[in-house]
Amino acid sequence: MKPLDDELEIELEIERYELFADPLYNFTFNRRQFLKVFSGGIALLVPMSNLLVASAQQEQGESGRGRFDQRVPNEIGAWIHIDEAGTVSVFTGKVELGQNIRTSLAQAVAEELHVSIESVRMVMADTDLTPFDAGTFGSRSIPFMAPQLRKAAAAARETLVALAADQLKVAPAEVRIVNARFVNHDASKSLSFADVAKGRKLVKAIPADVTITAVKDWTIAGKSVPKVGARDFVTGKHEYTSDMKRPGMLFGRVVRAAAMNSTLVSADTKAAEAISGVTVVRDGDFIGLAAPDPQTLARAEKAIAVHWKAPGQTSAAQLFEQLKRESSPGRGGARPVGSIADGMAQADKKLSQAYTVAYIAHAPLEPRAAVAEWKDNKLTVWTGTQRPFGVRSELAEAFRIPEENVRVIVPDTGSGYGGKHSGECAIEAARIARASGKPVKLVWTREEEFKWAYFRPAGVIEVSSGVKNDGTVTAWEFHNFNSGASAIQSKYAFPNQNIQFHNSQSPLRQGSYRGLAATANHFAREVHMDELAQLVGMDAVAFRLKNTQDQRLKAVLEAAAQAFGWGAKRPAGRGAGIACGFEKGSYVATAAEVSVDPKTKKVKLERVVASFECGAIVNPVHLHNQVEGAVVQAIGGALFETIDFQNGEILTAKFSRYRVPRFSDVPPIEIVLLDRKDSPSAGAGETPIVGLAPAVSTAIFEATGQRLRSLPLVPNLS
């Protein structure tokens, strides 16, 4: 099955924050800006266009054969700099949120430069220092950024070697890099990086013909390199945004309504304003506070009396009915194939079912936080966001100042999972800071993070299908209402299909979430596939294998089935399920075993096997950690996470009311990683999350005879 082409997917995708797949604006790090921060030494530039070319090729499944512009590019996507002291720095707009891209990208650069990973300094996500980047999302950093940085590093090495050879008065072919020194054939002469870079002012775009290390020859990538900076994290030294302190900094708060879409009726802020050191900001419906210390801030907050008015709003009980009622006509999630009528006519059995998924919250452990500082008319904001350049735009727009007057810096952040694309907290901190004339730190409370961020979209998915008694699916009609188009297509070879995504009116603010709608679409598709297999009396694995020709999908499915011991007999009260899928260049299959207590109906996840394949593995331990983490996060959405809301108010706005997976929820998890050195490395942050929910639903069915078609599953068990 041909994957959705990029253009079509962008047109369909409703997760609006990820529409920034390609830069829509031209406010990039251009040559002029580059020269401002380039002080000397040697720089290798990755043209922005390269990242886009690489992106297009990856999505078409083609290998790299691009012809690159040799001139110094006008727009720069990333650059590598060897300064006059010999320090190697990599400048990229990517953000570190725990996915360990800081480590993986450093591995790529270290490898090509023939230096140790410790000698590579990663400068990330600072809009004044790093080139434009659309954001850290969509599993894009490894497939698109890493190969380009490799090319830049390889070109840097060639350039440095040529310069070193010249200085050493030997042939370039004779020069090797050993322990961060350029040495001649018998190591009788050597130069440091500083010796070679000193006094230079050399800028080059990466040439078209630069060759990079073949996967089979990797010595730094492909290995389990520990997390860069790990020591700072285990000692508490790492400074997250929420830990920062600036000279004269005030602590900020925003006064909020209980319900969404509230308007301010009246506010009495006089008593708060009378407190020494307190700033109160009133701007439309916005009320912000700042105080020199948390105690004064708390006093000021208590002294404010506010009345809000909220309109009547949809509650959770009406959600799915509304999503269907308010939906637009389907816009074609994929080009229809064949004829559903013909496919149904060929079928021996038919099935129509509806599936739903709830709104869930990312609940990153570090809530949104920002420190904002104005100097003259220039604004600097430190904030944990996945889209530093997007937040810069939001700030420039909010304060009607040019983007070059705004600097956004993202310290390595306490996770995001797709939930930190937006700049609300940054704007609020900046608004309060402007009023108070001092730097302001604003850290959202957990309640604010639950109420005023955004959710993974809820959705209704309707599937109608036909199947022959031999297990061939003949017709596949699939309608997704609201949750999104990601992975709405599959690697199954259905001869007749009509797959549509329907936009709808969401009562809650919704946006990206790890894997986007791939979780919802896999849930509906894979549970439905299991139902079909059951209809024709076929084994779940055999049924799937019969309906796909995709060798990589087959390989992960068979690997999971084998590691799990699929087909083994299970005692009463136990059940097993399996599901597989593909998204963003990687393949996953997940098998789960559950036990269900016949009296209490308590579901216990007994064990999980996940097999995963994302091309050539860059860092096995971190990949293992990512896949395991995705499976654990998936447990919450599969079993118990759900946002309850009533008349505009989020009722589940604290961890005591919103259950997320804990130690005791996690069963033994076996991860099988398939390393395909012949395939380009794809991202791994998202896809491993999609397989668990359908596998668990099926396992519960086997254990109890109840087919659960709504996420989360547990509350629906009767």
Q: Which of residues 486-545 bind other proteins (CB under 8 A)?
A: none
Q: Decide whether 410 or 553 has the Cβ nearer to other proteins.
A: 410
- Give the residue from 579, 602, 578 showing the smallest Cα distance to 491: 579
Taking the chain, what is the end-to-end CA distance rounded to the nearest angstrom? Answer: 39
Q: C-beta of 674: minimal distance to other proteins in Å?
A: 17
Q: C-beta of 563: minimal distance to other proteins in Å?
A: 16
Question: Does 628 sit near other proteins (CB under 8 A)?
Answer: yes
Q: Which of residues 98-137 bind other proteins (CB under 8 A)?
A: 98-100
Question: Does 302 sit near other proteins (CB under 8 A)?
Answer: no
- CB under 8 A: which stretch of 7-15, 22-30, 110-118, 360-368 binds other proteins? 360-368
- CB under 8 A: which stretch of 203-211, 302-310, 589-597, 659-667 binds other proteins? 659-667
Question: Does 656 sit near other proteins (CB under 8 A)?
Answer: yes
82, 410, 592, 632: residue in contact with other proteins (rule CB under 8 A):
632
Q: Decide whether 92 or 99 has the Cβ nearer to other proteins.
A: 99
Q: C-beta of 203: minimal distance to other proteins in Å?
A: 35
Which long-range contacts does 6-14 make (Cβ < 8 Å, 24+ apart)?
6/55, 6/56, 6/59, 8/334, 9/485, 9/486, 11/331, 12/331, 12/332, 12/333, 12/485, 12/501, 13/484, 13/485, 13/486, 13/516, 14/457, 14/482, 14/484, 14/485, 14/501, 14/503
Residue 686's SS3 state is coil
Q: C-beta of 635: minimal distance to other proteins in Å?
A: 8
Q: C-beta of 321: minimal distance to other proteins in Å?
A: 32
- Six token digits for residue 91: 């400048």
Residue 183's identity, in one-letter code, is: V
Q: C-beta of 380: minimal distance to other proteins in Å?
A: 20
- CB under 8 A: which stretch of 307-315, 421-429, 442-450, 492-500 binds other proteins? 442-450
CB proximity list for 382: less than 8 A, separation 6 or greater:
241, 244, 370, 371, 408, 409, 410, 411
Question: Does 399 sit near other proteins (CB under 8 A)?
Answer: no
457, 466, 629, 694: residue in contact with other proteins (rule CB under 8 A):
629
CB proximity list for 472: less than 8 A, separation 6 or greater:
546, 547
Question: Does 349 sit near other proteins (CB under 8 A)?
Answer: no
Q: C-beta of 591: minimal distance to other proteins in Å?
A: 17
Cβ atoms 645, 651 nearer than 8 A: yes
Question: Does 243 sit near other proteins (CB under 8 A)?
Answer: yes
| Cα 39 to Cα 43: distance, rounded to the nearest angstrom | 10
Q: C-beta of 623: minimal distance to other proteins in Å?
A: 11
Strands 378-383 and 406-409: parallel
294, 311, 567, 573: residue in contact with other proteins (rule CB under 8 A):
294
- CB under 8 A: which stretch of 96-104, 455-463, 555-563, 575-583 binds other proteins? 96-104
| Cα 510 to Cα 612: distance, rounded to the nearest angstrom | 28
| Cα 334 to Cα 338: distance, rounded to the nearest angstrom | 12
- Give the residue from 284, 286, 276, 278 showing the smallest Cα distance to 255: 286
Per-residue H/E/C for 399-421: HCCCHHHEEEECCCCCCCCCCCC
261, 365, 377, 437: residue in contact with other proteins (rule CB under 8 A):
365
| # binding residues, other proteins (CB under 8 A) | 61
Q: Which of residues 253-292 bind other proteins (CB under 8 A)?
A: none
Q: C-beta of 663: minimal distance to other proteins in Å?
A: 5
Cβ atoms 218, 211 nearer than 8 A: no
- Looking at residue 469, the DSSP 8-state letter turns out to be T
Q: Report angle CA 504, 508, 510 to the nearest 5 degrees.
A: 75
- In order, the DSSP letters of 171-188 are -GGG-EEETTEEE-TTSS
- Give the residue from 351, 355, 350, 331 showing the smallest Cα distance to 579: 355
236, 284, 312, 537: residue in contact with other proteins (rule CB under 8 A):
236
- Give the residue from 468, 463, 479 showing the smallest Cα distance to 535: 468
- Give the residue from 563, 550, 553, 670 showing the smallest Cα distance to 607: 670
Question: Does 661 sit near other proteins (CB under 8 A)?
Answer: yes
234, 258, 305, 717: residue in contact with other proteins (rule CB under 8 A):
234
- Six token digits for residue 491: 């690697």
- Specify the residue for token string 């020199």: 292
81, 151, 227, 479: residue in contact with other proteins (rule CB under 8 A):
227
Cβ atoms 648, 311 nearer than 8 A: yes
Question: Does 663 sit near other proteins (CB under 8 A)?
Answer: yes
Question: Does 25 sit near other proteins (CB under 8 A)?
Answer: no
Question: Does 230 sit near other proteins (CB under 8 A)?
Answer: yes
Q: C-beta of 367: minimal distance to other proteins in Å?
A: 8
Q: C-beta of 166: minimal distance to other proteins in Å?
A: 42
Residue 375's SS3 state is strand
- Give the residue from 6, 100, 207 showing the smallest Cα distance to 621: 100
Residue 338's SS3 state is coil
41, 414, 585, 694: residue in contact with other proteins (rule CB under 8 A):
414
16, 302, 654, 677: residue in contact with other proteins (rule CB under 8 A):
654
Q: C-beta of 373: minimal distance to other proteins in Å?
A: 18
Residue 49's SS3 state is helix
Q: Decide whether 445 or 562 has the Cβ nearer to other proteins.
A: 445
Q: C-beta of 687: minimal distance to other proteins in Å?
A: 15
446, 570, 574, 676: residue in contact with other proteins (rule CB under 8 A):
446
Q: C-beta of 655: minimal distance to other proteins in Å?
A: 4
Question: Does 226 sit near other proteins (CB under 8 A)?
Answer: yes
Question: Does 631 sit near other proteins (CB under 8 A)?
Answer: yes
Question: Does 213 sit near other proteins (CB under 8 A)?
Answer: no
Question: Does 413 sit near other proteins (CB under 8 A)?
Answer: yes
- Give the footprint of other proteins on this chain (CB under 8 A): 97-100, 224, 226-227, 230-231, 233-240, 242-243, 245, 251, 293-295, 362-367, 412-415, 417, 443, 445-446, 620-622, 624-626, 628-633, 654-656, 660-664, 666, 668-669
